[in-house]
Chains A and B, each alone.
Chain A
């Protein structure tokens, strides 16, 4: 299946002919890149398609007649932005020149897409499919006209700190119509090495999932150059028809050179360089300096593969005998469920001590198993998987991390995750590997110190923390995705029609959406927050913490605060659409004020602030500390008043029960007093009547 996929990928261009395409003139409506390069969506160039991009006719408006084509990244996999930055303007005779790149409003899809404008190779692809047979290049000038320019191109890339990782005959082009010069094709539209056939990859890289090979090192490019050279010299793939698993097994047992070259007729003068390029030991593999020396006539002793340490007696696994730990590890990795019991039973350790007589390795294996079984709450399957993954690392430290069907180099984790997310595949194995700290085990198995390992260890610890904190926005799998993939554009569904590759593009993109978004959609979904958290250079932990609060008011304030910080730090000066969008989401904040009068005041003021387009101003207004304090104090006073009134009412209602008794007593007293009063007054009046 993988082989089939890679074959399809490697066969980019489909059944296109190798014949040199003429430089066609563009026609119809054009899409413009950076106001200079016209790309014609109606003029396809299927011969130049790559697995993740579609080719179209392009034209330089300032230099008409110059043969160009554009690759539009239409696939779901993330292109290599960093590589594009380095490739642009890099001129090398062995490299298809990247003239310009950038996002364009791609009208056929109604979305923003990434476009790469290359100088068009006039001679077409060297091979359209890996299974093709072409005329062997027997030119005496092969080294000078073909191999040297390609090596120089790799040297140039090396100087820029990038690797090509797409060197295969189906991605080599004849630069001229006469077919005298070959250039390396595009390497930036897909993740590194994802489209490489296993034959073109070193053993360790070939073991990986295609997505998990990672950018690797220049040595991987020189290996691929060696493989391509063999194919050009013999006119075909020497192992065409051999399955991937079998090919890796052959390379492991016999070495790459023996597998690819030993039965072939290659010019004698090429044997030395091929041995150097196809060395399986990266320390022995030739790099640009050694190639340059060779080009300049210095002849060196042929590289001889270092013999692997072999056991005195074989270890039998699945009825096959194994004499080296590396081969055994590969067999175990490919028969995972059958290997786990064998490892845990201790047979392997015994063989390592007695058969291989390597007590140190046996101790490492024992330790790897102990580490895996330590911590009793894991499931049996989980323990077995972790134990086997650790044991495989101990047996073959050069191999990628292998964990059930997952196989990837540490620098390929990002591409795996990116591809899995883009395709909607299950990412459980990736997260399991990180959570179980298998990378730490792999780094611990290195035989030398490198600052890069320390950095990787820290990175994977962080990733583990993000996964453990997965429920929160700004963490989880999405955060890992953006942390591990510098070139990963934001995959938020909000940006389905947009292309947000840089942190500075987040607010403008949201601003464009703002005008047509309803007041229920939150601008900060999991992808957007993870993207911002991974790319924003300053500490935004307080904003993220607020954003993840369950209280809607705090969460909304966190959202506004995060967006405000972004605008404050990175601009743009005004985001009217986004302000309008966010302004419609302020209900929880408005409702967090107790005073209805204040709420009405906010509802009147917010539209005015929205019209200014400033998120920081909006934030400062709705979260004014003085206003909040006044609101709180007034509210407490109102509560006290309400409680006092309630108490008085209660007292009055309780007093009403005894009102009749009181009234009777009072009434009787009043009546008696009145009666006596009348008597006194009457007596006085009568008495005065007699006296005066």
Chain B
């Protein structure tokens, strides 16, 4: 009983600690949080709308989304980590277009890759079947149609 109340106490403390850290982080890294929050919006949308079995759509969108964000984010971190700089980046239409464009490309990739893979796999098995059938035909030519009987006679 005592152990249970102890672990519950730890959980609440962790959550409180987490919220405190986020608050401190928000206060300390506000420009970063602002930039990431705005720039990574397509990834958040992808996470919500993806209903596929593998649920990897957010990863596909997020990867390219983040790749396009990385130069701006590093510029924020390594040059001036200020709210003005963050809003300047967000306010730059070309930067934002590139970040959202990359996310859109990620979604496009997510939509088209299965089709390409499917077509490839289809092509491979058809070819194999053709090869096997050709081998069977050679056997029939050499041994006659009797070779194709499957009843053991």
Contacts and interface: CB of A to CB of B under 8 A. Distances in A.
Interface stretch (B13-21, B59-67, B85-93): B59-67
A292 to B, nearest CB: 78
A690 B74 CA distance: 8
B129 A653 contact: yes
Interface string A619-644: 00000000000000001001101110
B30 to A, nearest CB: 21
A632 to B, nearest CB: 11
Contacts of B122: 656, 659, 663
Interface residues of B, number: 50
B118 A667 contact: yes
B135 A645 contact: yes
A483 to B, nearest CB: 41
B109 A671 contact: yes
Interface string B54-76: 10110111111011101100100
Interface string A653-692: 1011001101111111111101111110111001100100
Contact of A675 (B106, B114, B146): B106
Contacts of A639: 143, 147, 149
Contacts of B71: 682, 686
A27 interface: no
Contacts of A666: 114, 117, 121
Chain A contact residues: over half helix, strand or loop, or mixed? helix
B110 interface: yes
Contacts of B141: 596
**Chain B at the A interface: mostly helix, strand, loop or mixed?**
helix
B78 interface: yes
B6 interface: no
Contact of B114 (A597, A638, A646, A663): A663
Given A667-B115, A679-B66, A679-B70, 18 more contacts: A642-B136, A649-B129, A656-B122, A659-B125, A660-B118, A664-B114, A665-B114, A666-B121, A668-B56, A670-B117, A672-B56, A674-B63, A675-B106, A676-B62, A681-B67, A682-B66, A682-B67, A682-B70
Interface of A: 594-597, 635, 638-639, 641-643, 645-646, 648-649, 652-653, 655-656, 659-660, 662-672, 674-679, 681-683, 686-687, 690
Interface of B: 52-54, 56-57, 59-64, 66-68, 70-71, 74, 78, 106, 109-110, 112-122, 125, 128-129, 132-133, 135-136, 139-144, 146-150
17 contacts: A642-B139, A645-B133, A648-B132, A652-B125, A665-B53, A665-B114, A666-B117, A668-B54, A668-B113, A671-B114, A674-B60, A674-B109, A676-B62, A679-B62, A681-B67, A682-B67, A682-B68
Query: Which are the 4 A-B pairs with shortest beta-carbon distances?
Result: A667-B114, A663-B118, A675-B63, A682-B67
